[in-house]
Structure 1
């Protein structure tokens, strides 16, 4: 390691769940090339468990930006913002890497002590963010998000970009849970974009197939709409059960015991990929080549439809029209799921 090489790095990567997970392989790369390096990480409180699972992360600085913006007076009176700034300013960092490339993340980075590094104007998701960095790097768009982040870290920390598959660095972390008596599938049905949902009737039909084939099925949920869907899916058979409320570590433990996962494009699908759980992920309005699950044992099913992927949160076709969902029927998903399980 060169004498002047950075050793203590602050990462700014606030959200979402998938984006946070996509950052982990870059830390693994950096640790291999600079064994003495350590990272602190500023992340939204909802995802603050994730960085603690990587051995290169020393301290996590949780942020709660959405809540703070909605309750400015309460945030100020409770000293939450002041305490957050104090945590960021308590250490002088050799480098501060904004791995998000947004205006909000670049502004957060300004509160930390040290030189700020990030994407250049052509590479950042929001070009204005580049104005606030001391040093900027070009990373071509059109690549997978994990590859782009690995490239940013390689340039910022001065090592060659690895051409190896991504390593999430979670293998040394123990997600302990009791092994189920029957082979278990996990159905990841919840996602924030309406256009990424697979119809409820399809999930119900798939659950019936799985139960008939002797599988135990677990169905997580995160909000009221997902809870209702999970109950609908679980109603088909006693071997199909809705999971209780859980933190991310609890969800990771459930995923790690599954023989396979079926999911839509959602953050938990990326968590399954990071855990090397065999997964079949369905893509309608998004492109798996840019933000799909990446790693061992990952299989994608892309909708075959003229306007897919549309990258729109909501489908604008008439309700009675055929949509990209029709190109992902239950029979096709079931057959691919069985292929996924047979290969592992």
Structure 2
């Protein structure tokens, strides 16, 4: 633990150079920083196209976008735009690039360091030793760093702990309700709004990677059951080709009567419009992906299907939770607040690998064995509650 710092920054830059969900999980950190420094000006640096989760965030005065693969000219432009403009950079990702941005932008830094779980193999220990060497310079340039723990520490807690150096009693950070700030909603486009029929359930089947997928036939079972309750199904998906195709594959399995009660919005909604859609739903069901975190942040009853990912690290945060860890590492079903996390069977769950073959295109047996009846029961309970 670093020594207490009395720094009172006037300008702060938050850096999250990763995916949409990684941006959303910084919002409790930003809210807490606003309580610490009510008069400071906050800016946010992230990748172009990944920052819609911050729409309407009352604490952010300026959003700065950069490419995820900038060429030299863009690097130089960004360097001169950022150079020493800030009193503090809050580096929320462990990448070298994020730290270089923080070094260029601010007089002081706090940051997240890449970590390794407990119980390491010899191979893991060798990787950790190399990682520690790579992290040494990041520690040297930072007032305070927080190690990632992919199994025991929730990502929201990890981000909040970046502020613990500014508290004489860091435990104060976790003694009041912690919430994720969802983006401000935008009106749903008329072509979709005109087809919505309440009550409806939003279903988001598509993850970023194949190893987080749930089998097609299980979606067929779930969607058929939902429509038989007299509820509409609204299918959600990103504009990515594989997500559009996944939704089409699911629709192709449905009988004609079920299909009449399913509205496919794939690729047609922005993140703020998706938030509006989810807020109007009686429940949401989705895989381990950013839109599931958005659903939880919108305070909708949220059913999250988890495979290899530890919920203790990246389970959707239940808004208003008090404490550092809402979840258990392994439980077939666990409900905290508005969020229910379901996991498949197996002693290896969660492994944090990229599926059973540890590659992005792999399947995950734990998801293959997550029975649709378990999801139906969880959905029933969430809606009754």
Give the TM interval when normalised to the shorter protein. Answer: 0.7 to 0.9
Contact 2:93 2:113 in 1 (8 A): no
Of 356, 362, 365, which aligns to 1:323? 365
Of 156-165 and 288-297, the range deviating more from structure 2: 156-165
Q: What corresponds to 1:148 in structure 2?
A: 158
1:10 matched to 2:13? The reply is yes
Q: What corresponds to 1:198 in structure 2?
A: 214
Q: What corresponds to 2:295 in structure 1?
A: 272
Of 98, 101, 118, which aligns to 2:94? 101
Q: What corresponds to 1:212 in structure 2?
A: 228
1:266 Cα deviation after fit: 0.6
1:186 matched to 2:202? The reply is yes
CA spacing shift, 1:25–1:123, aligned 2, 3 Å:
farther
1:83 Cα deviation after fit: 3.1
Whole-angstrom CA distance in 2 between matches of 1:83 and 1:44: 15
Contact 2:54 2:182 in 1 (8 A): no
Q: Unpaired segments of 5 or more residues in structure 2?
A: 118-127, 320-337
Q: Deviations over 1:25-82 (max 9, x none)?
A: 111112123221331111111212222332111111111123x3xxxxxx45xx4333
CA spacing shift, 1:337–1:136, aligned 2, 3 Å:
same
Contact 2:24 2:182 in 1 (8 A): no
Q: Equivalences for 1:241-260 in 2 at 5 Å?
A: 241-243=263-265, 244-260=267-283
Of 131, 139, 143, which aligns to 2:137? 131
Q: Deviations over 1:284-342 (max 9, x none)?
A: 1111111111114111112221222121213239xxx9921344111111111110111
Contact 2:303 2:339 in 1 (8 A): yes
TM-score (norm 2): 0.77
Whole-angstrom CA distance in 1 between matches of 2:356 and 2:50: 28
Q: Equivalences for 1:31-180 in 2 at 5 Å?
A: 31-66=34-69, 68=70, 75-76=71-72, 79-89=73-83, 92-119=85-112, 127=132, 128-129=134-135, 131-132=137-138, 133-138=141-146, 141=149, 142-156=152-166, 160-170=172-182, 173-177=184-188, 180=196
- The residue matched to 1:94 in structure 2 has which SS? strand
1:111 Cα deviation after fit: 2.5
Of 110-119 and 146-155, the range deviating more from structure 2: 110-119
Q: Unpaired segments of 5 or more residues in structure 1?
A: 69-74
Whole-angstrom CA distance in 1 between matches of 2:251 and 2:28: 35
CA spacing shift, 1:314–1:123, aligned 2, 3 Å:
closer
Q: What corresponds to 2:330 in structure 1?
A: none
Contact 1:284 1:303 in 2 (8 A): yes
Whole-angstrom CA distance in 2 between matches of 1:30 and 1:108: 20
